[in-house]
């Protein structure tokens, strides 16, 4: 061996003191070749590193500071010989050895080590190399003491036995690695499936609480955590808290915990491990660790999502943090969409009110009629247990059901006596006129059936299309009953309003002919509530808020 072969300056600069765990052959967490070097070190008690026969570099072990690059003659001997390699440099009193790495078909990498021929009496060249590498005398002595005594003569046989054992083990190691990979793929699939399902369910009509419940349930299934929770604290809505699994604190404690961490919860998730070991969290001894992410609406924090107490691992990490952050972003997006939808809905309602006001100004005798029909129709929809979205559609359709009367002459609408046949034919056009007026508005397409068909009769004698039975949209069948109820109960230029007993008698007689009997039954089931709503609306000087 030449002096240059032991020269410190040929190795990459050191960044710290020698790692005694590596010096003594402790197991590393690097790739398979490094695992193999550690396995040889564990079996033989000899120092091993990863050696590259192309460059001659030795890496992944602190002891290679003494000889970071193999001398050319030693490198040539390793390239030409068969594994295991044992080359003795008598001049420098150093023995080099190398054994193959399982799975390396090119033989460009070996597990390589070196030691003094006599560890108890290291040569001056080795001591000089240690000094140049920045090792203290104690560092060198600890490394020498970590080497099990093996004679140079028995070293080849000793290495061959170790090589047989290590090279017979890859199947087991590969199996373990494949099992770990399969586990990671399972987790990744669960996470991707979770995010896909949540994204697919982002409907504007979906209540934030419902989406939060879905999120927290699926999250608990995907994460190795004892419990998960979502806390929504929007200013314009009551506090909502949903959870799944076992959380170590109740809603109030969880809010205090997250409020305390809110300065750290910005747009990045927060991971806190070993919180049960800190004085600040002594009041929550059952909380070992947690990962949390903020739910944002614009620049404001409107909630948090949290997972507590990892199962099977001591800590939460970046995988869990990124998953929670992704779900928090989904919830944030949904809340933003709801806000935009509400703004759009407010504009639509304002437009509808403007149209209804135009109609009221045209026909003073029916002022407030559309508002009252809308309230009665909505109550009928509730009694029929229709979904919330359909109840709102029916309410909107009722507000606009008579909008087509804008196209009817004022003389006909305000005539104090009965209409002639010709006048009645013109009045009967108002459902079609209303349908035509609203059909050009994209956001009102879903209420057009109610506007067009609210004067159809169940027996097919109505107008404008003479539909029969279930051919008439349910929305229109509900509007027909609500419209008739208010029309009969309200004053008209040619008559006063009918008493309730007479109205209900007419409704009973017309069930199954003029009106859907199912809707009539719903009326009688809610009659007292409907009467109260109707009378309150009549007495109100201003139209009721939608």
CATH of the domain at 318: 3.30.450.40
Give the dihedral sign, CA 533/536/541/542.
negative
**C-alpha–C-alpha distance, residues 546 and 543, integer Å:** 9
Question: If you average pLDDT over residues 502-529, what whole number do you get?
Answer: 94
pLDDT over 50 (residue 541): no
pLDDT over 60 (residue 17): no
Three-state DSSP at 232 gives strand
Higher per-residue pLDDT: 146 or 524: 524
Which residues are CB-neighbours of 60 under 8 A, at least 6 positions away? Answer: 28, 30, 33, 34, 37, 49, 50
Higher per-residue pLDDT: 10 or 49: 49
**C-alpha–C-alpha distance, residues 317 and 312, integer Å:** 13
Inside any domain, residue 356: no
Residues 455 and 394 grouped into a single domain? yes
Q: What is the pLDDT of residue 455?
A: 95
Q: What is the pLDDT of residue 418?
A: 80
**C-alpha–C-alpha distance, residues 98 and 196, integer Å:** 51
Inside any domain, residue 267: yes
Domain count, the chain: 3
Residues 326 and 391 grouped into a single domain? no
Residues 212 and 273 grouped into a single domain? yes
Q: Picking from 21-35, 270-284, 496-510, which range would have the lowest pLDDT averaged per residue?
A: 21-35
With CA atoms as reference, report the closest residue to 96 among 48, 143, 55.
48
Residue 29, Cβ density class (10 Å: 0-12 exposed, 13-18 middle, ≥19 buried): exposed
Q: What is the pLDDT of residue 32?
A: 46
pLDDT over 60 (residue 181): no
State which of 125, 146, 168 marks the end of a domain: 168
Question: If you average pLDDT over residues 206-234, what whole number do you get?
Answer: 77
pLDDT over 50 (residue 26): no
Q: What is the pLDDT of residue 349?
A: 65
Higher per-residue pLDDT: 64 or 378: 378
Q: What is the pLDDT of residue 244?
A: 86
Three-state DSSP at 7 gives coil
Instruction: Write out the two tokens for 45.
Output: 């008690």
Q: Picking from 96-110, 167-181, 481-495, which range would have the lowest pLDDT averaged per residue?
A: 167-181
Residues 236 and 294 grouped into a single domain? yes
Which residues are CB-neighbours of 19 under 8 A, at least 6 positions away? Answer: 62
pLDDT over 90 (residue 131): no
**C-alpha–C-alpha distance, residues 516 and 474, integer Å:** 9
CB 148 within 8 A of CB 45: yes
Q: What is the pLDDT of residue 7?
A: 36
Give residue 53's pLDDT band: very low, low, confident or very high (50, 70, 90). confident
Instruction: Write out the two tokens for 131.
Output: 């000094």
Q: What is the pLDDT of residue 451?
A: 93
State which of 148, 168, 188 marks the end of a domain: 168
Inside any domain, residue 176: no
Give residue 519's pLDDT band: very low, low, confident or very high (50, 70, 90). very high
Query: How many angstroms separate the Cα of 361 from the Cα of each of 31, 367, 368, 433?
Result: 82, 8, 11, 18
Inside any domain, residue 385: yes
**C-alpha–C-alpha distance, residues 434 and 396, integer Å:** 13
Higher per-residue pLDDT: 15 or 314: 314
**C-alpha–C-alpha distance, residues 433 and 452, integer Å:** 8
Give residue 29's pLDDT band: very low, low, confident or very high (50, 70, 90). very low
**C-alpha–C-alpha distance, residues 126 and 135, integer Å:** 11
Inside any domain, residue 351: no
pLDDT > 70 in the chain, percent: 72
Q: Picking from 16-25, 296-305, 330-339, 360-369, which range would have the lowest pLDDT averaged per residue?
A: 16-25
pLDDT over 80 (residue 11): no
Q: Picking from 136-145, 341-350, 381-390, which range would have the lowest pLDDT averaged per residue?
A: 341-350
What's the domain range around 289? Answer: 199-339
Q: What is the pLDDT of residue 174?
A: 56
Q: What is the pLDDT of residue 530?
A: 93
Three-state DSSP at 273 gives coil
Share of the chain residues as helix, strand and coil, in percent rounded to the nearest 5: 55, 10, 35
Question: If you average pLDDT over residues 493-508, what whole number do you get?
Answer: 84
Residues 318 and 369 grouped into a single domain? no
Question: If you average pLDDT over residues 52-74, what whole number do you get?
Answer: 84
State which of 168, 186, 209 marks the end of a domain: 168
Three-state DSSP at 65 gives helix
Q: What is the mean pLDDT of the chain?
A: 77
Backbone angles phi, psi at 232, to 5 degrees: -110, 125
Global pTM value: 0.45
Question: If you average pLDDT over residues 277-295, what whole number do you get?
Answer: 72
pLDDT, tens only, 383-400: 999 998 899 899 989 988
Inside any domain, residue 193: no
Residues 86 and 163 grouped into a single domain? yes
Residues 143 and 217 grouped into a single domain? no
Q: Picking from 172-176, 341-345, 390-394, which range would have the lowest pLDDT averaged per residue?
A: 172-176
pLDDT over 50 (residue 516): yes
Higher per-residue pLDDT: 480 or 301: 480
Residues 422 and 502 grouped into a single domain? yes
Residues 52 and 152 grouped into a single domain? yes
pLDDT, tens only, 452-489: 999 999 999 999 999 999 999 999 999 999 999 998 98
pLDDT over 80 (residue 78): yes
Residues 328 and 383 grouped into a single domain? no
Peptide bond preceding 84 in cis form (omega within 30 of 0): yes
Inside any domain, residue 181: no
Residues 294 and 145 grouped into a single domain? no
Q: What is the pLDDT of residue 2?
A: 38
Q: Picking from 47-51, 360-364, 428-432, which range would have the lowest pLDDT averaged per residue?
A: 360-364
Inside any domain, residue 173: no
Question: If you average pLDDT over residues 306-332, what whole number do you get?
Answer: 79
**C-alpha–C-alpha distance, residues 403 and 529, integer Å:** 27
Higher per-residue pLDDT: 426 or 133: 426
**C-alpha–C-alpha distance, residues 467 and 456, integer Å:** 6
pLDDT over 90 (residue 522): yes
Three-state DSSP at 63 gives helix
Residues 118 and 224 grouped into a single domain? no
Crossing angle of the two packed helices 474-489 and 369-383, in degrees rounded to 10: 130
Three-state DSSP at 79 gives helix
Q: Which of 74-78, 122-126, 508-512 has maximum average pLDDT?
A: 508-512
Give residue 28's pLDDT band: very low, low, confident or very high (50, 70, 90). very low
């Amino acid at each position: 061996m030449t002096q240059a072969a032991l020269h410190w300056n040929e190795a990459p600069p050191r960044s710290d003191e020698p790692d005694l765990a590596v010096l003594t052959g402790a197991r590393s967490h690097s790739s398979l070749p490094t695992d193999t070097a550690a396995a040889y070190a564990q079996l033989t008690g000899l120092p091993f590193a990863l050696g590259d026969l192309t460059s001659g570099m030795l890496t992944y072990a602190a002891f290679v500071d003494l000889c970071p690059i193999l001398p050319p003659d030693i490198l040539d001997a390793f390239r030409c010989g068969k594994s295991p390699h044992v080359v003795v440099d008598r001049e420098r009193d150093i023995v080099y050895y190398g054994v193959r790495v399982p799975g390396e078909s090119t033989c460009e990498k070996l597990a390589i080590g070196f030691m003094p021929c006599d560890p108890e009496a290291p040569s001056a060249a080795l001591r000089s190399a240690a000094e140049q590498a920045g090792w203290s005398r104690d560092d060198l002595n600890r490394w020498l003491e970590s080497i099990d005594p093996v004679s140079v003569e028995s070293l080849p046989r000793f290495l061959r036995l170790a090589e047989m054992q290590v090279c017979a083990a890859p199947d087991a190691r590969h199996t373990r690695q494949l099992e770990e990979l399969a586990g990671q793929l399972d987790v990744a699939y669960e996470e991707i499936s979770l995010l896909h399902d949540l994204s697919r369910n982002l409907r504007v009509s979906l209540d934030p609480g419902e989406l939060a419940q879905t999120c927290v349930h699926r999250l608990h299934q995907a994460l190795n955590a004892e419990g998960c929770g979502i806390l929504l604290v929007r200013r314009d809505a009551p506090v909502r808290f949903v959870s799944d699994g076992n959380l170590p604190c109740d809603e109030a404690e969880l809010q205090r915990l997250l409020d305390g961490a809110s300065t750290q919860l910005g747009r990045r998730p927060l991971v806190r491990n070993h919180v049960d070991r800190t004085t600040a969290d002594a009041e929550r001894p059952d909380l070992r660790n947690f990962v949390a992410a903020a739910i944002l609406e614009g620049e404001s924090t409107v909630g948090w999502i949290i997972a507590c107490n990892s199962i099977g691992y001591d800590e939460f990490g970046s995988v869990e943090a990124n998953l929670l952050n992704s779900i928090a972003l989904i919830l944030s997006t949904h809340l933003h969409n709801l806000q935009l939808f509400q703004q759009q809905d407010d504009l639509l309602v304002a437009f509808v009110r403007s149209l209804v006001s135009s109609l009221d100004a045209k026909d003073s005798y029916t002022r407030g009629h559309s508002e009252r029909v809308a309230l009665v129709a909505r109550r009928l929809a509730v009694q029929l247990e229709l979904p919330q979205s359909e109840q709102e559609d029916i309410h909107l359709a009722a507000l606009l059901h008579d909008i087509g009367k804008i196209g009817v002459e004022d003389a006909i609408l305000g005539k104090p006596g009965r209409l002639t046949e010709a006048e009645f034919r013109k009045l009967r056009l108002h459902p079609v006129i209303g349908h035509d007026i609203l059909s050009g508005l994209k956001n009102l397409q879903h209420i057009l059936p109610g506007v067009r068909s609210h004067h159809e009769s169940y027996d097919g004698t109505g107008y404008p299309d003479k539909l029969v039975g279930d051919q008439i949209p349910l929305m229109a069948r509900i509007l027909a009953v609500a419209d008739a109820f208010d029309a009969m109960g309200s004053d008209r230029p040619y008559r006063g309003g009918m008493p309730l007993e007479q109205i209900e008698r007419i409704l009973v007689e017309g069930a199954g002919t003029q009106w859907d009997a199912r809707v009539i039954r719903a009326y009688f089931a809610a009659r007292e509530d409907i009467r109260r709503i109707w009378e309150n609306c009549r007495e109100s000087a201003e139209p009721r808020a939608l």
